[in-house]
Amino acid sequence: MKLRMSRVFVRGGLLLLCTLLFILVPALSAAGEARASSNPAGILDILNLHVQGNQLLNGQGKSLRLLGVNRSGTEYMCASNAGIFDGPSDAASVDAIASWHVNTVRVPLNEDCWLGINGVQAAYGGVNYQKAIVKYVLLLNSRGIIPILDLHWTAPGTTIAIGQKPMTDRDHSLAFWKSVASVFKYDRSVIFDVFNEPYVSNWDCWKNGSSAPSTAPCSDADFAVAGTQSMVDTIRSTGAKNVIMLSGIGYANWVGGWLDAMPADPAHNLIASVHIYNFSGCKDTTCYDQIIGPVAAQVPVVMGELGENDCQHGFVDTAMNWADQHGVGYLGWSWSTYDCGSFPSLISNFDGTPTEFGLGFKNHLAVVANQ
């Protein structure tokens, strides 16, 4: 639903877009494609996102839920020197995503690719990777879609990030977030998901990290851990007031303890994320009621990844119905054309053709959009 904006807010939003285009992507001639096809009203509806109680609000004070998909690829293609996106990232591909009535797309990132370190080829890392992500964010914005930038793959030292680690590292993750936040602090539609799926064993490590490898409270991590508090502090030190998203432990499936461990945030703009799959520990409405519900009563919550590995959609249907009743958002994993079971993939073609699993998401999002 489009909202009326004051002329002052419209001018501010258009100035933001001009600033992003002029400062961040001056060498990107294709950026004109994003401007030309943009709908200013749609863009402005998603600016100045902020948290109030357990609600996520836009600049007009209207409550919204994050409903959409994950766009996997930018976490792994660059690390194998095979490209940046897996599949198209042009306007037509974003239109296909938008046709599913989404308002959010989560984009997984690789810290080594963004920073251009540890052997990532220049063609796919550093400035070129950053420009590609900025362009994609602008395309999403131009369709009135909220981008979530997710630090997905990390690695300490000189090891290239080619998979999931139990937590963020002090070697590169703080530098990653300082850089990302400095770029996108001008665009308050962008949400920062500080780490994909923590699987450290305790909340103390999750929050406070460690000073050295295999050191309490992160004895199970063979590197110095950057805790969520240090990442929130790093992001805020840039002046960025963007909403920050924090996943629970247990591969982001467990948020029991999230409220007690929640980092201090001077901007008061934190939301909780939980990943739900049919093979997870917390995977039924009893657990949702007992564990996720109390968190959702205090802060905004999104199922940052939601999926099932049987090429069906009965499991996600139940999860989405529960989320609808409790004001919780959800993002399907993943807008990719791999197997609908093992990956699992929502689509069989980047034109938006759904798999059987994806059909459940597509139909449900259409119903919610028309309510």
How many angstroms separate the CA atoms of 172 and 315, rounded? 37
Q: What are 209's two structure tokens? A: 């990290």
Kindly give, in sequence order, each residue whose CB lies less than 8 Å from that of residue 278, ignoring residues fewer than 6 positions away: 307, 308, 309, 310, 315
Average pLDDT (226-235) is 99
pLDDT of the residue at 6: 31
Specify the amino acid at residue 23.
I
Tell me the C-alpha distance between 192 and 49, whole Å.
12
Which domains does the chain carry? 7-369 (3.20.20.80)
Taking all residues of the chain, what is their mean pLDDT, rounded to a whole number?
A: 91
Task: Determine the Cα–Cα distance for residues 348 and 354; give it in Å rounded to an integer.
Answer: 6
**In this predicted structure, which of 42-46, 83-87, 106-110, 216-220 has the lowest mean pLDDT?**
42-46
Residue 232: which of 215, 245, 218, 223 has the closest Cα? 245
Q: Is the pLDDT of residue 23 over 90?
A: no
What is the per-residue pLDDT for 36?
Answer: 39
pLDDT digits (tens, 9 = 90+) for 331-371: 999 999 999 998 999 999 999 999 999 999 999 999 999 88
In the predicted model, is pLDDT for residue 8 greater than 60? no
pLDDT at position 303, please?
99
pLDDT beyond 70 at 34: no
Please state whether 185 falls in left (phi above 0), alpha (psi between -120 and 50) or beta: alpha
d(CA 311, CA 343): 10
Nearest to 352 by CA among 147, 104, 92, 143: 92
Length of the chain, please? Answer: 371
pLDDT at 35 over 80: no
Percent of the chain with pLDDT over 90: 87
DSSP 286-346: HHIIIIIHHHHTTS-EEEEEEE-SSS--HHHHHHHHHHHHHT-EEEES--SSS-TTTS--S
Residue 30 has pLDDT above 80, yes or no: no
The mean pLDDT value for 128-147 works out to 97
Q: Contact 226/169 with Cβ under 8 angstroms?
A: yes
Confidence of residue 42 (pLDDT cuts 50, 70, 90): low
Q: Report whether pLDDT(40) > 60.
A: no
pLDDT of 156 strictly over 90: yes
Q: Say how far apart CA 142 and CA 294 lie, in whole Å.
A: 35
